[in-house]
A and B are shown apart, each in its own frame.
Chain A
Amino acid sequence: SQQGEEDPQALSIQEGENATMNCSYKTSINNLQWYRQNSGRGLVHLILIRSNEREKHSGRLRVTLDTSKKSSSLLITASRAADTASYFCATDEMIQGAQKLVFGQGTRLTINP
């Protein structure tokens, strides 16, 4: 089952601009996480936001969570070429009696110099 769905699937912007990616999910959650994946590498955890939080910051990253709309957004400010990567949201879901992370399909972000 696919819990999180990212939008857009691909995003291309100029260096220095802000990048916004969205994630929608279907069921209630305890928390939502964002991960980054550079080409040919594994995923790296960026930030976690709990269901009782509305906004969280980490450096140039800002995550919002709207549980009434079952959606989250990741904003990267003042983008850099090194931000070029795929970004995934992940939510916890009960699968076969145990709680696991379910990842969306990701947004592929390209930062043009």
Chain B
Amino acid sequence: DAGITQSPRHKVTETGTPVTLRCHQTENHRYMYWYRQDPGHGLRLIHYSYGVKDTDKGEVSDGYSVSRSKTEDFLLTLESATSSQTSVYFCAISDVAGGRKNIQYFGAGTRLSVL
């Protein structure tokens, strides 16, 4: 999975608890992304980062926050988890955003269940 490690791989939590998912890369790629994957919706972008401390919202950012204090780490936080956030979360990285070659490399995913 292209030097990308997501942790944890599986998590079960209760509604209302905070949850942090971690994405760690060893590729020194500038851009990092968090997606969620749900049946019937494909992959949807939650947040992305275009550099250390530079982040922006994606398509489905409500209820999520992110932080990137180092090039290699991108954290996704659910401040107060809800059942609608039960999903599989993928981190992706790329070296070039948009334009000609935004090829993205994905981690193995984190399966999150909110009860």
Contacts and interface: CB of A to CB of B under 8 A. Distances in A.
B58 A95 contact: yes
A100 B48 contact: yes
A45 B103 contact: yes
Nearest to B40: A105
A101 B106 contact: no
B62 interface: no
Contacts of A41: 1, 108-109
Interface string B94-113: 00011111111111110000
A96 interface: yes
B41 interface: yes
Interface string B29-58: 000010100001111010010100000111
B74 interface: no
A99 interface: yes
Given A31-B101, A98-B98, A42 B58 contact: no
B109 A42 contact: yes
B102 A104 contact: no
Q: Is the interface of A mostly helix, strand, loop or mixed?
A: strand
B58 A100 contact: yes
Interface residues of B, number: 30
Contact of B99 (A30, A44, A48): A30
Interface in A76-113: 88, 92, 95-96, 98-106
Given A98-B56, A100-B58, A42 B108 contact: yes
Interface string A36-67: 00001111110010100000000000000000
A17 B41 CA distance: 29
A40 B35 CA distance: 15
Contact of A99 (B33, B98, B106): B98
Interface in B50-70: 50, 56-59
28 contacts: A30-B98, A30-B100, A31-B100, A33-B103, A40-B108, A41-B1, A41-B108, A42-B92, A42-B107, A42-B108, A43-B90, A44-B106, A45-B103, A45-B104, A48-B101, A48-B103, A88-B43, A92-B98, A95-B58, A95-B59, A96-B56, A96-B57, A99-B97, A99-B99, A100-B97, A103-B43, A105-B40, A105-B42
